[in-house]
Chains A and B, each alone.
Chain A
Amino acid sequence: MRTERDAAPAGPGKLVVDAAVTTRGVDVHLTVAPGEVVAVLGANGAGKSTLLSLVSGSARPDHGRITLDGRPLVDTATGTWVPPHERGVVLLAQQALLFPHMTAVANVAFGPRSRGASRREAQETALSWLAAVDATEFAERRPHQLSGGQAQRVAIARALAAEPVLLLLDEPMAALDVAVAPALRQLLRSVLRGTGRTALFVTHDLVDALSLADRVVVMEDGRIVEDGPARTVLAQPRSSFAARIAGIDLIPGVVTEDGLVTTDGLRVHGQVAVGATIGEAGVAVFRPAAVAVHLTVPTGSPRNHFPVVISELEPRGEIVRVRSQDDRSGGTGGLVADITAASAADLELVPGKRVHFAVKATEVAVHAAASQP
């Protein structure tokens, strides 16, 4: 069943949102292409959850229109309103919210049953989805006998068994143990990336956005202020929110055994995170504060060093942010180093100067990326 879906090209699921909720100061214009996975980032109260509520049908816009595959879900101009159960939109929330009076398999069978499948068909569908999320052993358990991660697995199976045209995710991993999050992220990745399913997900987590999304939109004060490929938005943030959560160094490439190799053939050494597969798209991530600046090729423990040309120096109190020239190659251009003002003075750094950025391999994390560089 899943292999059929895997093979299918981008199917249905084109979402167009043009809706406003004036009382909450939300005014969103967003188009999601069929099969596209879009991450919604933003501070608390920026309107991310309102956006999901509008699409799922738990909130009504004051004015505007939302269509899914051309079918209006809500249109205030014509008074159209499609109730939540007829939308084909499933929301996966922070809490698994499994029905406590049903076993895991009955929970997963709920969607198919509600759509008219016979008891037996629904049971079979449910079991195959439980197998797909590696939760077959929990089939007969009640939700209170499951851990948070196990429950969320079952919730994912339940959401997918309902065959949504559009999947909404509201920080599905935020309530989970740090220890179980990577495995679940991997599962979500295979679910979202492998099946050509359209999805809109709200997250606070940079790694989620990088590894799951084709595109990132950033919301501020109820409006979308940034919209673009995940790496562009996160590496060159224009909005203050993106800058605050991002403000990191990113190098895209292909995952290797001990790091990543860029399209230019540059090797980056780092810690390969769970979920990143050798030979597939990845991104090396490190903090600007972990970067040291050298005038000559550094020797010693740092295994990574990149020759760069300084483009600007931004004093930030005690710290100076050294920005390198962006060659737009998608490689090491545009990297940033945070060093003390004293070091910057000692090294006599000026724009145009050629230097080396060095970073220890232990400071570099290599994550799976949503698309090939």
Chain B
Amino acid sequence: MQPVVTRKEYVTGTAPSTPSAGRTRSPATGQGSGLPRWVFAPAFLGGAFIVLPLVAMLVRVRWADFWGLITSESSLAALELSLRTCAASTVLCVLFGTPMALVLARSSFPGLRFLRSLVLLPLVLPPVVGGIALLYTFGRQGLLGHTFQVLGIRIAFSTAAVVLAQTFVALPFLVLSLEGTLRTAGRRYEAVAAGLGANPTTVLRRVTIPLVLPGLFSAAILAFARALGEFGATLTFAGSLQGVTRTLPLEIYLQRESDADAAVALSLVLVVVAVVVIGLARGRSGEGAL
């Protein structure tokens, strides 16, 4: 129950265009909605609260310098790093999150519910705490750090650490979203397939996965979006090294100190990416898929 609420909050946060878009699409909302009129007032205030800051930011953008600011060396490096690491962490989320969602949605064993709440912990954990936890797992002094050191692999404060931090926070989003899709899809088709003689692997490959593919797509988009905005865990676990670990959110935070105009310009880039991502997810799987 609780994580679902979290997910909705998250969507509202990353889809600032949603309320206004909804209003333009159905202008007759006030008529025959069955809602008391006064509900529209707080709803409007809430919508304004989300849209207004974005408008304020847009107003603050200095369009004359805009292109120069977002194509500076450090900006481009941050943007490229962000897209690369987010793509990698999304792939990791799909590879590990899909089996996790399958286990959660389709199997039953003692302790499954407990396991489920553990897996979803990063949803409610402050990202900084996640970063600390990762540091004490993969860092030099960490749980697995020594093992990796013997193998000659250093993870903390590398690009790999960025990917791990993003995967850590984004994985529950994919798992939760896909688990919901799997439960909604039900097992009827799987039972039919098994009856026709298909072994479990064939059922998974030819029936289960194709049926939830649109859901998997929007879950991956969700994970990508979450990874793109990741800040706290990245800063704690990976640091802020230009071209290596300094992703777009970190670059924005850094620029804000020295060059506010650059920070605003880069923020706008992130907003545009977020809008495109949400648009993609919606276009593929219809209204309300996220």
Binding site for B on A (CB under 8 A): 56-58, 83-91, 93, 95, 97, 99-101, 110-111, 114-115, 158-159, 162
Interface residues of B in 150-209 (CB under 8 A from A): 188-189, 191-200, 202-203, 206-207
CA distance A57 to B211 in the complex (A): 23
CB of A18 to closest CB in B, whole Å = 22
What would be 26 A-B contacts, judged by CB atoms less than 8 Å apart? A58-B191, A84-B191, A84-B195, A85-B195, A85-B196, A85-B200, A86-B197, A87-B195, A88-B197, A90-B196, A91-B191, A91-B192, A97-B189, A97-B192, A99-B192, A101-B213, A110-B196, A110-B206, A111-B196, A111-B197, A114-B197, A114-B198, A114-B199, A114-B202, A162-B195, A162-B197
What is the CA–CA distance of A200 and B114 in the complex, to the nearest angstrom? 42
User: When chains A and B are docked, how far (Å) is the Cα of A86 from the Cα of B211?
Assistant: 23
Q: Which residues of B contact A (CB under 8 A)?
A: 188-189, 191-200, 202-203, 206-207, 210-211, 213
Q: A99-B189, A99-B207, A101-B210 are in contact. Are A114 and B195 (CB under 8 A)?
A: no
Which one of B194, B199, B200 has the greatest number of beta carbons of chain A within 10 Å?
A: B194
- Tell whether A85 pairs with B199 under 8 Å between CB atoms, given A100-B211, A110-B206: yes
Please, how many angstroms separate the alpha-carbon atoms of A91 and B188 in the complex? 12
- Docked complex Cα distance between A97 and B185 (Å): 12
Instruction: Report the Cα distance A158→B191, complex, angstroms.
Output: 14
- Residues of chain B within 8 A (CB-CB) of A99 are 189, 192-193, 207, 211
Q: Is the CB of A91 within 8 A of B193?
A: no
Give Cα A115 to B202, complex, Å: 10
Q: What is the CB-to-nearest-CB distance from A92 to chain B, in angstroms, rounded to a whole number?
A: 9
Residues of B within 8 A of A95 (CB): 188
- The reply to whether B194 and A97 contact each other, CB–CB distance below 8 Å, is no
Return chain A residues, CB-CB under 8 Å to B213: 101
Question: B residues within 8 A CB of A110?
Answer: 193, 196, 198, 206
Q: A99-B207, A101-B210, A101-B211 are in contact. Are A114 and B196 (CB under 8 A)?
A: yes
The majority secondary structure among interface residues of chain B is helix
Chain B residues contacting A58 (CB-CB under 8 Å) are 191
Q: Are B196 and A97 in contact (CB under 8 A)?
A: no
Q: A85-B198, A97-B188 are in contact. Are A114 and B211 (CB under 8 A)?
A: no
Bound complex: CA A263 to CA B147 (Å)? 90
Task: Report the Cα distance A100→B210, complex, angstroms.
Answer: 10
* A83-B194, A110-B198, A162-B197 given; 15 more Cβ-contact pairs under 8 Å: A56-B195, A58-B191, A84-B195, A85-B194, A85-B197, A87-B195, A89-B195, A95-B188, A97-B188, A101-B210, A101-B213, A114-B193, A114-B202, A115-B197, A162-B196
Chain B residues lying within 8 Å of A89, measured Cβ to Cβ, are 195
With the chains together, A115 CA to B203 CA distance in Å?
Answer: 12
Residues of B within 8 A of A115 (CB): 197
User: Which B residue's beta carbon lies closest to that of A114?
Assistant: B198
**What is the distance, in angstroms, from A52's C-beta to the closest C-beta of chain B?**
11
Q: Which one of B193, B195, B199, B210 has the highest number of Cβ atoms from chain A below 10 Å of its Cβ?
A: B195
Question: Chain B nearest CB: distance from A73 CB in Å?
Answer: 13
Taking the closest CB of chain B, its distance from the CB of A39, in whole angstroms, is: 20
By a CB distance below 8 angstroms, the chain B residues around A101 are 210-211, 213
Question: Nearest A residue to B187 by beta-carbon distance?
Answer: A58
Q: With A99-B207, A101-B210, A110-B206 as given contacts, are A90 and B195 in contact (CB-CB < 8 Å)?
A: yes
Nearest CB in chain B to that of A100: its residue? B211
Q: Write out the residue numbers on chain A whose beta carbons fall within 8 Å of the beta carbon of B203.
A: 85
One of B189, B194, B206, B211 near A84 (C-beta < 8 A) = B194
Task: Name the B residues within 8 Å of A84 (CB-CB).
Answer: 191, 194-195
Q: Considering the complex, give the chain B residue whose CB is closest to the CB of A159.
A: B196
Closest residue of B by beta carbon distance from A116? B197
A86 to B199, CA, bound (A): 8
Complex: A311 Cα to B191 Cα, angstroms: 52
Min CB gap A168→B, angstroms: 9
Query: Residues of B contacting A97 with CB < 8 Å?
Result: 188-189, 192
Across the two chains, which residue of chain A brings its CB closest to B188? A97
Q: Judging by beta carbons under 8 Å apart, are B195 and A91 in contact?
A: yes
Nearest CB of chain B from residue A172's CB, rounded to whole Å: 13
State the CA gap A114–B203 with chains docked (Å): 9
